[in-house]
Amino acid sequence: MKFKKYLIPLLVLAFLVLLLFQSCYSVRLVSTVGTPEPAVPHVRDDYYRPYEVTELDTVITIGVADKDFSYLIKSTDLCPSGKLHTVEYRNTFGALLLSAVTFGRKRKVKIKYVCMKD
Amino acid sequence: MAKTTKLTLTEWDTLHNNGPFPLKLLYKTKLESPALMPSDLDRYNDAAQEIQSLITEAKNKNEGFRAYGSAWSMSKIAHQKERMHFNAHMNTYFSFRNQDLHALSGYQAENLFLFQCGNVVKEISEKLAGHGKSLKASGASNGQTIAGCISTGVHGSAINVGSVQDYVVGLNLIIGPNPGDIVYLERHSKPALNDVFVQKLRSRVIRNDGLFNAALVGLGSFGFIHGVVIEAQNLFLLKRYVKELKKDKAIELAQQQNFKTFDGIPEEVKGNGEANIPYHFKVFVNQYKDNGKYVVEFMYKKPYKLNYPDPFPVIKKSLYRDLINLVVQIGSGIPASIPVFINLLKNSILPTVDEVSTGTLAETFWDAPYQGPAFAISFGVSHTDAEKALKILSKVSIDEGPVPGIFAMRFIKKSDATLSFARFPTTCMIEIDGVRWNEKKNLITLNDLSKKMIEALQQANIPFTLHWGKNADWKFSGLVDHMYGADATTWRKYRCSLLSGDMQTLFSNAFLKEVKLDKKEPSDPQLIQSLL
């Protein structure tokens, strides 16, 4: 009976925590110089529609002795020049929490980037 | 060798979502790596050979072939239902020395550059800046390719300069699959490059004013534009002022272009009381709210110097896309809400009054972020008809609308190109642009709006043109003949004389058919003779 009494508030709380984990914001850095790599054909319907964009959504694990890491941008079909024009990173509460509970060993990386035209 | 990727598709769309349109095959060609082919000239000629092989493929299948760059045009001018070629990766360029110039050339070698078709305005500006040079004019933004700009007549509001095609001095066209099918065109009255350089492009030269002017705004149908020789100028700065003027004053400036007596910007009035002539003049018109004033943008040319104030803000915000979609959705259901929303959003739509900034041409006409499906209808009229035409077009948009867009007026010097819409001594481009709406609901369709506007201008006997890259009822009966008269026939004659019969078909598309410019004319060898 007691459990039933708390079921609904617990579910609401769980839902709110879930929402909190997903709560996020993005920051976009754009170079004022350089021409972005064009997309062909245009398939997206967001800010990146004109551009060839690379999306990265992963978790990087680093060792206890590692202070930080660099994610290296390489020349690929989507990024022939290997040079950055636009970078958008997304922060979520969940990603922050993941880093906190793993003492910084696991770092969620969610970024979009567009390279300079070759 | 240049590498072409082939994508089998079912449809293709413009950047601004004006389609989708059916498509079978999309080609994209990349130049050979400089590591394997260090000479720019070799890579350029290698790309020409690659394009000729693609033309051969299309020809053998009896299919059309059409190049496009950034897909910025809102009309279907860039579309071809069978084979399209994305050329923005073909982006090398050349500068020149005195020994490359024709003996009768009046140009300075340091100002001439050949840009391959796929160079976009932004990268051209950056490449030119490396030489201390600038384009003379551009559109309101910088994402179009040079070939796309001239094919459709891209313009800004440079009163005494003209459109992008007006500083083009040479065209390198691929007009077929055979070795003799690469031509270099320039004016016989204003030659630029000598035969020795043209031979390096494996091209045959034709110096002929009429042919050059016809091919200049070629609507993508005069062959594959491989390279464009432009005349640049020394870097300069533009000082931009945004003012709010009484409607009468703004219209007087538009109609009379009497800038010398305009004292609204004290910094631009000289000691003798005469004012400077602006490089750029633009009038913003919210047809849904008459407060007796118009927001007006002036730009004045200044010598280039270092250490001018940074023209860019640190943070650049854009409207919430979902908000725009919501507004359009509500507006489609309740049209009366559209003027209210436009007035509410006017601070995001119009430039800030009393704003002053300084920047190069490239910095001033900078990036325009994608903001969702868009439309634009753009009429060219004589500046002396500006007031009357604006009244008529505004009335149509109010009576038949409302629609989610507002008007602006820009001004361009007359172009020599046969089919340039800048055909009046000073052409006033009156444009309504905004976001696409749901045509299935209570609002007029975009095509019908354009049709009503064309009819209204015809009824008022106002001569007009339409921007080739913008929306319009392009099937309107007799439209091109009405706008261009004998020049439309002249353009077709030059095209049919330069291109073989099968290449006329290959380089045609539905747009050309709709405007009746695909009509065959007898070939006349005289028209394609080199006159110098």
| B80-90 residue pLDDT tens | 999 999 999 99
Q: Is B143 on the interface with A (CB under 8 A)?
A: yes
A-B Cβ pairs (cutoff 8 Å, strict): 49
- In a domain? residue B515: no
Place B364 in a pLDDT band, splitting at 50, 70 and 90. Answer: very high
Q: What is residue A21's predicted lDDT score, i.e. its pLDDT?
A: 66
Predicted confidence pLDDT, tens digits, chain A (118 residues): 567 778 888 888 888 877 776 678 899 999 999 999 999 999 999 999 999 999 999 999 999 888 889 999 999 989 999 999 999 999 888 888 999 999 989 999 999 999 999 9
Chain A environment of B143 (Cβ under 8 Å): 50
Answer whether residue B356 shows pLDDT above 70. Answer: yes
Q: What is residue A1's predicted lDDT score, i.e. its pLDDT?
A: 58
Closest chain B C-alpha to A18 CA, distance in angstroms: 23
Q: What is residue B337's predicted lDDT score, i.e. its pLDDT?
A: 86
What does the pLDDT look like over B478-514, one tens digit per residue?
A: 999 999 999 999 999 999 999 999 999 999 999 999 9
- In a domain? residue B506: no
Report the CATH number that the domain containing residue B91 is assigned in CATH.
3.30.465.10
- In a domain? residue B282: yes
Interchain CB distance below 8 Å, A40 and B28: yes
- In a domain? residue B495: no
Looking at the 3D structure of chain B, how many domains does it have?
2
Interchain CB distance below 8 Å, B126 and A34: yes
Cα–Cα dist B373/A5, whole Å: 51
Q: What is residue A2's predicted lDDT score, i.e. its pLDDT?
A: 67
Interchain CB distance below 8 Å, A50 and B70: yes
Chain A environment of B70 (Cβ under 8 Å): 38, 50
Cα–Cα dist B234/B136, whole Å: 9
Judgement on whether residues B151 and B204 belong to the same structural domain of the protein: yes
Q: What is residue B317's predicted lDDT score, i.e. its pLDDT?
A: 76
Closest chain B residue to the Cα of A50, Cα to Cα: B15
Judgement on whether residues B205 and B184 belong to the same structural domain of the protein: yes
Residue numbers of the domain that contains B297: 236-473
Judgement on whether residues B210 and B249 belong to the same structural domain of the protein: no
Rounded to 5 degrees, what are φ and ψ at B37? -140, 85
Judgement on whether residues B277 and B162 belong to the same structural domain of the protein: no
Residues B260/B251, Cβ–Cβ less than 8 Å: no
Answer whether residue B354 shows pLDDT above 70. Answer: yes
Q: How confident is the prediction for chain B on average, in pLDDT? A: 95
- CA proximity to B399, closest of B343, B318, B455: B455
- In a domain? residue B491: no
Mean pLDDT score, B88-93: 97
Judgement on whether residues B218 and B261 belong to the same structural domain of the protein: no
Q: Are strands B182-186 and B204-207 parallel, antiparallel or unpaired?
A: parallel
Judgement on whether residues B80 and B133 belong to the same structural domain of the protein: yes
Chain B environment of A35 (Cβ under 8 Å): 120, 122-123, 126
Q: Are strands A106-115 and A53-61 parallel, antiparallel or unpaired?
A: antiparallel
Q: Is B321 on the interface with A (CB under 8 A)?
A: yes
Last residue of a domain, one of B191, B207, B234: B234
Chain B environment of A85 (Cβ under 8 Å): none
Q: What is residue B486's predicted lDDT score, i.e. its pLDDT?
A: 97
Mean pLDDT score, B243-268: 96
Query: What pairs with residue B360 in β-bridges?
Result: B237
Closest chain A C-alpha to B478 CA, distance in angstroms: 33
Closest chain A residue to the Cα of B12, Cα to Cα: A41
Place B453 in a pLDDT band, splitting at 50, 70 and 90. Answer: very high
Q: What is residue A7's predicted lDDT score, i.e. its pLDDT?
A: 84
Judgement on whether residues B24 and B153 belong to the same structural domain of the protein: yes
Rounded to 5 degrees, what are φ and ψ at B514? -60, -40
Structural domain boundaries in chain A: 24-115
- Strand runs (DSSP E) across B286-439, as ranges? 293-303, 356-360, 374-382, 405-413, 426-435
Closest chain A C-alpha to B271 CA, distance in angstroms: 37
- In a domain? residue B508: no
Q: What is residue B442's predicted lDDT score, i.e. its pLDDT?
A: 78
Closest chain B C-alpha to A28 CA, distance in angstroms: 10
Interchain CB distance below 8 Å, B120 and A38: yes
ipTM score for this prediction: 0.92
Residues B38/B94, Cβ–Cβ less than 8 Å: no
Answer whether residue B194 shows pLDDT above 70. Answer: yes
Report the CATH number that the domain containing residue B326 is assigned in CATH.
3.30.70.2520
Cα–Cα dist A82/A37, whole Å: 10
Cα–Cα dist A18/A36, whole Å: 36
Interchain CB distance below 8 Å, B312 and A45: no
Chain A environment of B321 (Cβ under 8 Å): 46
Mean pLDDT score, B146-161: 95
Judgement on whether residues B53 and B185 belong to the same structural domain of the protein: yes
Q: What is residue A43's predicted lDDT score, i.e. its pLDDT?
A: 94
Q: Angle B228-A43-B52 (CA atoms, 0-180°, nearest 5)? A: 35
Interchain CB distance below 8 Å, A41 and B312: no
Closest chain B C-alpha to A75 CA, distance in angstroms: 13
Q: Is B316 on the interface with A (CB under 8 A)?
A: yes
Residues B75/B17, Cβ–Cβ less than 8 Å: no
Q: What is residue B334's predicted lDDT score, i.e. its pLDDT?
A: 83
Mean pLDDT score, B32-61: 97
Judgement on whether residues B227 and B244 belong to the same structural domain of the protein: no
- In a domain? residue B398: yes
Judgement on whether residues B52 and B148 belong to the same structural domain of the protein: yes
- In a domain? residue B97: yes
